[in-house]
Structure 1
Amino acid sequence: MMSSYRELFEKSIMMGIDPVGSVIASIRSIYQLPIESHNEMKLELIKHNFQYHYTHNALYRKICEEKGMTLSDIQRIEDVAQIPAIGIGKFKDVNAQLLLTKPIHDVEHELRSTGTSGIPSISRRDEQTLTRSVLSMFSMFREMFRFFGGAAIYLAPSAEEMPEMGLVKLINMFSGLLDSSRFFISGHAFDPEAVLQQLNDWQHVHTRHIIGPPFLVERLSRYINEHQRHIQLDRQSQIITLGGWKSYTGREINRLEFYEQTAQTFGIQQGQVRDMFGLVETNFMAIECEHHAKHVPPWVHFSIRGLDKADQEVAQGEPGRLVVYDPTSLSYPGFILTDDLVYMDKNPCPCGRNGQVVNYMYRIKGAEIGCCAINLEKFMSDKEARITQCPIG
């Protein structure tokens, strides 16, 4: 079977067809493949991508040579873990452009995420990488949410206000699948009453969705309960969160309590409240199904490493540090050692999709706490504090 996948990919390339894009476009059928076939396909994509960066990226090739790693060492999906990964902190380095495999003049877009240090993590994408990224997002959106229509409340600033923030860019991508949408953070201010008015205006007109970071969904839910307002969303409504569960103050939002409270507040089932996990430096989102299982896209591979031994994988189901192998990136090697502590589910998901299922826990001790959502919350909190402060005459 492996040779057939290799031959298929080689023929696709000879015909000018992008095999990665073809796999992304076939997501539904690939999720149904037996896990062995699934892994063989993924292995070929990652091997081909590794060879590309090894050949064209002098810095990455040097890293591989120092570790004695060559393409011939990758024969099984288990061997992928031997591929050298780049520490995510390198994307904050002043010399981050040295990570590029593509020349800097081929870069078409930059995405940024800023942590508590204020130093942005910058990920640069060339034309083909950006196209694959867009295909990846829309493919996962369609597969996991299934909507093509309706209207969304975006609990985020618009792209006009924060065009380079990864969270904003991603949320804005939902607009292509919807009939209408509105942003409800302006000048780092949030008016929950305006949200409720818009939800009422859209009632019986659109299926209504709410999309934003957990802290803002929580804030909206709290406002509704405190003011004893009644909201009943629709049978097909989705409340979609992204951006992390920790506040800039360090407070952790309890996920299970959040699902229960949010569903109760908006009159929907808990399976209609879904979370997404991704990184600005990668081109994918792992998205929850109705069973709250975060499905890794079938072309991406997750390897879970020991906290003290980052070159060794932990046993299936054990928590460890996440290493991502994303074969969609041509701009730079998408093989990234993250600061996230996760574990993988051992059992198949009841939704019927095969492949890896990840459970996010938290950032490892000592890592910088920071992401788009955390910084948005901090900006909003700082502004609210300035507004409520009394001037000293």
Structure 2
Amino acid sequence: MEPITQRLFELPNAFDFSDANCQLFTDSMREMAEYHMERSQVFHGICEQYGFRPDAIKAYEDVIKIPHVFVTAFKLHKLISVPESEIFKTFTSSGTQGQTSQINLDRVSFDRQAAMREKLVRSMGIASDQKSNYIVFSYAPDVSGQKGAAHTFNTYTTFAPAAEKVYALEDRGTGEAEFDVNRTIETIIRFEKSGLPLRVVGFLAFSFVTFKEMSKRGIKLQFPKESILITGGGWKSHKGETVTFEQYAALVSEVLGIPEGQIRDFYGMVEHGVPYLSCSRRRFHVPIFGNVAAIDPGTQNVLPRGETGLLKLQTSYIRSSPSISVLSTDLGAIGTGCECGLQGDYIMLRGRAGVSKHAGCAISASQLIKM
């Protein structure tokens, strides 16, 4: 079952960029490019258009040459490289104009992605054996459907044993997800009395409005130093206002007593599937399981480090869909040599091209906030 790629996803350290590991990633990308060219008419056609052949991928620097599928294609077409009968899970992301992207995973791809996510979290020191309470600012499993973001947030509740897990968006008898800020605040207060660390996971819009309400009421708690927050979905309030990290960190410190170094963010998209977690310096690090470059949208050339372009995202874990190389609508630049000590490149997000057309799950979810 693609033996080179299987070996890659057995690597224990997500940020070990030894020469051997870089070559393994290169060989894995070549293996999966050949795999998808044989099984996806769409990907084969794109590669033919660019005159691409997998045997051109010899060195790590060659990987970026693999042609990309534009992310919008996943909103318009169901792109798969395996028989329908082999699809194990389907995940979606929502847009604001009725557009929905979907990614279809067979069991092998699903398991590789799960292994990758666990190694990322452990390699960044976010996993713990200490029992914790969880507040999940996302959909409860019974109302999450196929939402990719909900699945991702839920997986982040598995990296420390759960004493109790409470979802902020749940069915309260209506058959649909509802958000109750008062109940959420009551739960947080109760959790503080337990003395256990708190793990906050989910959409920033919901945690931000909750913490603002706590501040308004003069609620100031003190959770153990092992507590942590993992946010996602962009730095916008439910009203669409930009929230700065400094604003959010100050609020978290005020109402929860958790320092800013314990706030982590992640960047990713359902069409690509690799979560890019932020370090203590708030930079999104690229693991050995992926490759990212900034692309000039006019020439499609790779831009030098530090220059802003559309982000081209690559990974080899997926065998069920030809999304090993995806051109996003997100703008960013690539840096290297982060002071946090992690090896490899990191992503500096600069914004999004076509916001109105490509808004994601976070914007759809934030519509549930009635305040």
TM-score by length of 2: 0.90
Shift of 1:48: 1.2
Give 1:147's aligned residue: 128
1:275 Cα deviation from its structure 2 partner: 0.2
Q: Is the 8 A contact 2:208 2:237 kept in 1?
A: no
User: Which of these residues, 229, 253, 266, is aligned with residue 256 of structure 2?
Assistant: 266
Is 2:267 the counterpart of 1:277? yes
From the superposition, tell whether residues 295 and 32 of structure 1 become closer, same or farther in structure 2 (CA, over 3 Å): same
Q: Distance in 2 between matches of 1:227 and 1:23?
A: 50
Residue among 156, 164, 175 paired with 2:146: 164
Asked if residue 81 in structure 1 is aligned to residue 64 in structure 2, the reply is yes
The equivalent residue for 2:115 is: 135
User: Match for residue 243 of structure 1?
Assistant: 233
Deviations along 1:221-254, one digit per CA (max 9) or x if unpaired, are 1011100011112110001101122457543222
User: Higher strand fraction: Structure 1 or Structure 2?
Assistant: 2
- Once the two structures are superposed, the pairs formed by residues 300-311 of structure 1 within 5 Å of their partners are 300-309=290-299, 311=300
**Displacement after TM superposition at 1:47 (Å):** 1.2
The whole-number CA distance in structure 1 between the counterparts of 2:355 and 2:17 is 39
**Aligned residue number for residue 3 of structure 1:** none
Q: Which one of the candidate residues 17, 23, 42 is aligned to 2:8?
A: 23
Distance in 1, matches of 2:255 and 2:10, equals: 36
Q: Secondary structure at the match of 1:31?
A: coil
Partner of 1:213: 203
Q: 1:247, 1:369 → 2: CA distance?
A: 17
Using the alignment, how far apart are the partners of 1:91 and 1:300 within structure 2?
19
Q: Which residue of 1 aligns with 2:96?
A: 116
Check whether the contact 1:133–1:283 (CA below 8 A) recurs between aligned residues. yes
1:72 aligns with 2:72: no
The aligned amino acid for 2:70 is G
Aligned partner of residue 161 in structure 1, secondary structure: helix
Measured after TM superposition, the shift of residue 175 of structure 1 is: 3.4
Task: Report the Cα offset of residue 205 of structure 1.
Answer: 4.5
Q: Could you tell me how far apart the structure 2 residues matched to 1:91 and 1:138 are?
A: 26
Distance in 1 (alpha carbons) for counterparts of 2:149 and 2:195: 28
Q: 3-state DSSP class of the match of 1:193?
A: helix
1:369 shift after superposition: 3.5
Secondary structure of 1:175 counterpart: coil
Name the CA distance, whole Å, in 2 between partners of 1:308 and 1:325.
Answer: 20
Unaligned runs of 5+ in 1: 1-12, 386-393
1:184 aligns with 2:168: yes
**Aligned-pair distance for 1:322?**
0.6
Further displaced range: 289-298 or 326-335: 289-298
Partner residue in 2 for 1:343: 333
- Change in CA separation of 1:217 and 1:248 when aligned onto 2, cut-off 3 Å: closer
With 252-261 and 353-362 compared, the bigger mean Cα shift is at 252-261
Does the 8 A contact of 1:326 with 1:335 survive in 2?
yes
State the percentage of identical aligned residues. 20
1:293 corresponding residue in structure 2: 283
Following the alignment from structure 1 to structure 2, what is the Cα–Cα distance between the partners of residues 221 and 25? 39
Preserved CA contact (<8 Å) 1:115 1:368: yes
8 Å Cα contact 2:293-2:333 kept in structure 1: no
Tell me whether 1:52 sits opposite 2:35 in the alignment.
yes
Alignment gaps of 5+ in structure 2: 171-175
CA deviation after TM superposition for structure 1 residue 184, in Å: 1.6
* Aligned twin of 2:44: 61
Alignment CA distance shift 1:205-1:231 (3 Å): closer
* Residues 317-326 or 138-147, more deviating: 138-147
Higher mean displacement: 255-264 or 178-187: 255-264
Deviates more, 1:321-330 or 1:49-58: 49-58
The aligned amino acid for 1:31 is F
CA distance in 2 between partners of 1:65 and 1:345 (Å): 32
Change (3 A) 1:147 1:200: same
> What amino acid is aligned across from residue 258 of structure 1 in structure 2?
Y
1-side partners of 2:103 and 2:350: how far apart?
24
Paired with 2:55 and 2:306, the residues of 1 have a C-alpha distance of 29
* CA drift at 1:25: 3.8
